[in-house]
Structure 1
Amino acid sequence: MINISYDIKEYRKQLFDIVNDGNVIVELGCHVGNTTKLILDKFDNVKIIAIDNSPEAVGKMEKLADDYSNLTFISGDVRRHEILLEAFRLTQSCDILSVDLGGGYHPDTVFKVFYIWSSTFKPVHSIIRNKGLVDFCNSAVVGCEDFKSHEGHLESYIDEGIPPQIKEFELWTPSLREK
């Protein structure tokens, strides 16, 4: 299932509805860890890999990672290949992909990040916080094409990898699995 919301309260509600103990969560855009801490406090047995590139995140997220052994923080830009690879070395799949890049980023960037990370990790659930995507979904009329994914990634693209024209990344997802 792929959930899209904008309001932070709705985003967190949707997230808490899908998280279960034992889940592996990859959180893109954790900022200073407010949502991360809520998850860690509510669920005893989750593993979170949280990533953010904002300077405000570093100190607070490193302290949070010191306090919780089931949290790994990566300081970096989720659009960069080496950050994707670093996260992939920690876990090669996840139950939940959480994408909150401030909610106000342009939907094309957020969708690209979602597509690349979900193609790599094949999550069962994804949750995306972005105003532009909510606006798009609420304004769109779907034609007769019958594409629908029941997982947290786009199943119609399951193993096609990352298009080479996406300049931020230099790999295709199947090549990650060969290393």
Structure 2
Amino acid sequence: MIKLSYDIKNYRKQILDLTQNGDTIIELGCHVGNTTKILLDNFRDSKIMALDNSPEATIKMNEILCDNLEFINADVRLHETLLEVFKRIQKCDILSIDLGGGYHPDTVFKVFYIWSSTFKPKHTLIRNRGILEFFNSAGSSDEDYESCEGFLDSYHDSGIPPQIKEFELWTPNLGKY
């Protein structure tokens, strides 16, 4: 299931509702760890991989590090970051994406596409005003494309189209690592 929100309270409620104890969670855009702390408090047996490249993140995230939390200070748009996480875990149950809340929906969608097609989560949560506004403004279609998982079924192994210059990754190549 893919959930969209903008309000931080809704986003956190959604992640709490979808997460089960023991899940593996990748949190892209953890910032100073406020959502991470909520996850740690509620799901002690879950593994959390949190990523952010903001300068504030490292100090705050290092304060809450524990056995079931790994923090990586890195840019989630980079191939090297995706590869580093993939070498540590090949699959996740929850993919949580909060990259600036309302800014750059195109970048957020590209990050969603790459990370979700790589890790194939059961659930993906995206906090982004632009994507939510687009979704709520779009009319319905009689075409039947719908995914029941946290990734797009129709593209899960097709790789990255060449026109996406920000990501020089072809997802099936990850299988060799």
TM-score under structure 2 normalisation? 0.97
Does the 8 Å contact 1:81/1:168 carry over to 2? no
Q: For residue 162 of structure 1, what is the aligned residue in structure 2?
A: 160
Does the 8 Å contact 1:100/1:129 carry over to 2? yes
Does the 8 Å contact 2:30/2:36 carry over to 1? yes
Question: Displaced runs of 4+ in structure 1, greater than 6 A?
Answer: none
Take 2:68 and 2:85, find their aligned partners in 1: how far apart are those partners? 14
The aligned runs of 1:52-131 (5 Å cut-off) are: 52-65=52-65, 68-131=66-129
1:135 aligns with 2:121: no
> Which amino acid is the alignment partner of residue 136 of structure 2?
N
* Residue 93 (structure 1) shift: 0.6
1:148 aligns with 2:131: no
Q: For residue 6 of structure 1, what is the aligned residue in structure 2?
A: 6
- Describe the superposition over 1:116-155 as per-residue Cα deviations: whole angstroms up to 9, x where unpaired: 1001101010000000111111100122210000000000
> Which amino acid is the alignment partner of residue 32 of structure 2?
V
Q: Give the 3-state SS of the residue equivalent to 2:99 in structure 1.
A: strand
> Which amino acid is the alignment partner of residue 64 of structure 1?
I
Q: Give the 3-state SS of the residue equivalent to 1:167 in structure 2.
A: coil
Take 1:116 and 1:158, find their aligned partners in 2: how far apart are those partners? 9
Take 1:88 and 1:9, find their aligned partners in 2: how far apart are those partners? 29
Take 1:92 and 1:74, find their aligned partners in 2: how far apart are those partners? 16
Q: For residue 30 of structure 2, what is the aligned residue in structure 1?
A: 30
Structure 2, unaligned runs of 5 or more? none
* Residue 164 (structure 1) shift: 2.5
Q: Over the residues paired in the alignment, what is the CA RMSD in angstroms?
A: 0.9
* Residue 162 (structure 1) shift: 1.7
* Residue 89 (structure 1) shift: 1.0
> Which amino acid is the alignment partner of residue 31 of structure 1?
H
Take 1:31 and 1:163, find their aligned partners in 2: how far apart are those partners? 29
* Residue 160 (structure 1) shift: 0.3
Take 1:142 and 1:178, find their aligned partners in 2: how far apart are those partners? 40
Q: Give the 3-state SS of the residue equivalent to 2:134 in structure 1.
A: helix
Take 2:108 and 2:169, find their aligned partners in 1: how far apart are those partners? 19
Take 1:143 and 1:169, find their aligned partners in 2: how far apart are those partners? 30
TM-score under structure 1 normalisation? 0.96
> Which amino acid is the alignment partner of residue 91 of structure 2?
S
* Residue 57 (structure 1) shift: 0.3
Structure 1, unaligned runs of 5 or more? none
